[in-house]
Amino acid sequence: MIFSIYNVAKSLYAGNIREGILNVKNSKEAENLMEKAFEHIDYFEFEEALDIGRGLIKKGFMGGYEVAAEALNGLEKRTEAIALLREGIAKDPSIWSLYDILGVYLSDEGDYRQAHEALEKALTCKNVVKNQVRYNDAVVFLREKEFDKALSICSGITDKKHFLMAAALRMEVYENQKKFDEIIKEAVSIIDQNDATEENAQDMSDIHATLAQAYLSKGERKKAEKHVEYSINIDDRCEKALDLKRELAGIKSDRNKYFFMTVKGDWFLPVEEGEKNPSFYREYDIVAENQQEALAIIREFERKEVRDSIEIREFKDDGPCADEYKGVVWVSGYIFFDEDEAAEEEE
């Protein structure tokens, strides 16, 4: 039985879009169902989450719109998710989070004008988490290459919860402007003043990765390598850092292929005190010449304490990619499970 997940993926947009459901008065039963649905989403079980969301909508609980929209987006049915959010807004135009998610999805679709409009409406609602919405608006401006507007919004986001999110976005704006000196000056200051924590890991990892790119762009390879490693040590799912790590290693081959792999291993600590150490699954996208090399790359990438236990559970060859550098392209979080209980369920 799966019972815990570590390092769950975060949306492109900062801020927990699920906060909005707390502003809707739901019964305890509905809140429990929404919690279960979001757990399904964390495990990429989108169909199960969608069923719960639709059930909540039928019962008249507005939180079901958020659940169902996020599930539809996970199923790559963003057009349906947008339509559903519009339906929810028509029923109750006072819920800021529905406008917020709508703005995010419209931006993903490249409809920046309507994205801004949705986010502006979110800001007029009661109980809105303003800096979350402003951050999302800044991301839209970045996508539009309206860099000054994005920076202006980010400079006004100073609360503790959103400050590092805004700082990481500001670094990305500077990167688009090729303002590498500004990145170095500001990123070094932020890193000196903030320790990486579980709560800010993704933002701090992004800042280290952007700093590494800035150093590399200025020809300071050693510093770039150092901050890539910092970034991956803080959050090994940072795709910018993974790309830079492969680029810095610089290993290509005419025999390179793109592989999808699921590996199984044994964790080195209990999830809760007094319990046995769990096993885990983890998914990887890898560039390598063959299965053996891909497995070796994964073992080198993982913690020393688990390397010897890692074995391949699923393996898929997605074809040649001679122009790509070898290494880890993408990695999921850890899905922990009790192997004995899993075996009993299979019987």
83/39: higher pLDDT: 83
| pLDDT value of position 98 | 97
pLDDT tens column, 125-156? 999 999 999 999 999 999 999 999 999 999 99
Co-location of 269 and 226 in the same domain: no
Three-state secondary-structure class, residue 145: coil
If you average pLDDT over residues 292-297, what whole number do you get? 97
In this prediction, residue 21 has a pLDDT band, given cuts at 50, 70 and 90, of very low
Beta bridge partners of 312: 263
What is the number of helices (H) and of strands (E) in the chain? 15, 6
In this prediction, residue 343 has a pLDDT band, given cuts at 50, 70 and 90, of low
Token digits for 295? Answer: 């497995």
Beta bridge partners of 320: 257
Three-state secondary-structure class, residue 86: helix
The C-alpha angle 76, 55, 334, rounded to 5 degrees, equals: 50
pLDDT tens column, 92-114? 999 999 999 999 999 999 999 99
> Which residues, including other chains, have CB under 8 Å from residue 93's CB and lie 6 or more apart?
121
Q: What is the mean pLDDT of the chain?
A: 90
Three-state secondary-structure class, residue 80: helix
| pLDDT value of position 314 | 96
Which one of 196, 214, 236 terminates a domain?
A: 236
With respect to residue 136, please indicate whether it lies within any of the assigned structural domains.
no
Co-location of 113 and 175 in the same domain: no
Does residue 20 surpass a pLDDT of 60? no
In this prediction, residue 341 has a pLDDT band, given cuts at 50, 70 and 90, of low
290/19: higher pLDDT: 290
CB-based contact 170:154 (threshold 8 Å):
yes
28/185: higher pLDDT: 185
Cα(321)–Cα(317) distance, integer angstroms? 11
CB-based contact 97:19 (threshold 8 Å):
yes
With respect to residue 181, please indicate whether it lies within any of the assigned structural domains.
yes
With respect to residue 262, please indicate whether it lies within any of the assigned structural domains.
yes
Co-location of 160 and 82 in the same domain: no
Token digits for 221? Answer: 């390879």
Which one of 209, 236, 263 terminates a domain?
A: 236
Count of structural domains, the chain: 3
Q: Which residues of 86-121 are buried (b: 16+ CB within 10 A; e: fewer)?
A: eebbeeeeebbbbbbbbbbbbbbeebbeebbebbeb
Token digits for 49? Answer: 């989450």
| pLDDT value of position 271 | 78
With respect to residue 44, please indicate whether it lies within any of the assigned structural domains.
yes
Co-location of 61 and 161 in the same domain: no
Co-location of 152 and 124 in the same domain: no
Strand positions, DSSP E, 59-174: none
If you average pLDDT over residues 257-274, what whole number do you get? 92
| pLDDT value of position 169 | 97
Does residue 315 surpass a pLDDT of 60? yes
With respect to residue 6, please indicate whether it lies within any of the assigned structural domains.
no
If you average pLDDT over residues 309-337, what whole number do you get? 95
Co-location of 38 and 95 in the same domain: yes
pLDDT tens column, 250-265? 999 999 999 999 999 9
**Counting every residue, how long is the chain?**
347
With respect to residue 211, please indicate whether it lies within any of the assigned structural domains.
yes
| Residue 315, domain extent | 250-346
CATH number for 162: 1.25.40
Quick one: how far is CA 281 from the chain centroid?
18
Cα(119)–Cα(13) distance, integer angstroms? 13
Co-location of 124 and 34 in the same domain: yes
With respect to residue 137, please indicate whether it lies within any of the assigned structural domains.
no
Cα(327)–Cα(28) distance, integer angstroms? 46
The one-letter code for the residue type at 28 is K
| pLDDT value of position 5 | 32
Beta bridge partners of 6: 334
Three-state secondary-structure class, residue 249: helix
Co-location of 267 and 292 in the same domain: yes
Co-location of 22 and 112 in the same domain: yes
Co-location of 229 and 173 in the same domain: yes
pLDDT tens column, 35-80? 999 988 887 889 999 999 999 999 999 999 999 999 999 999 999 9
With respect to residue 244, please indicate whether it lies within any of the assigned structural domains.
no
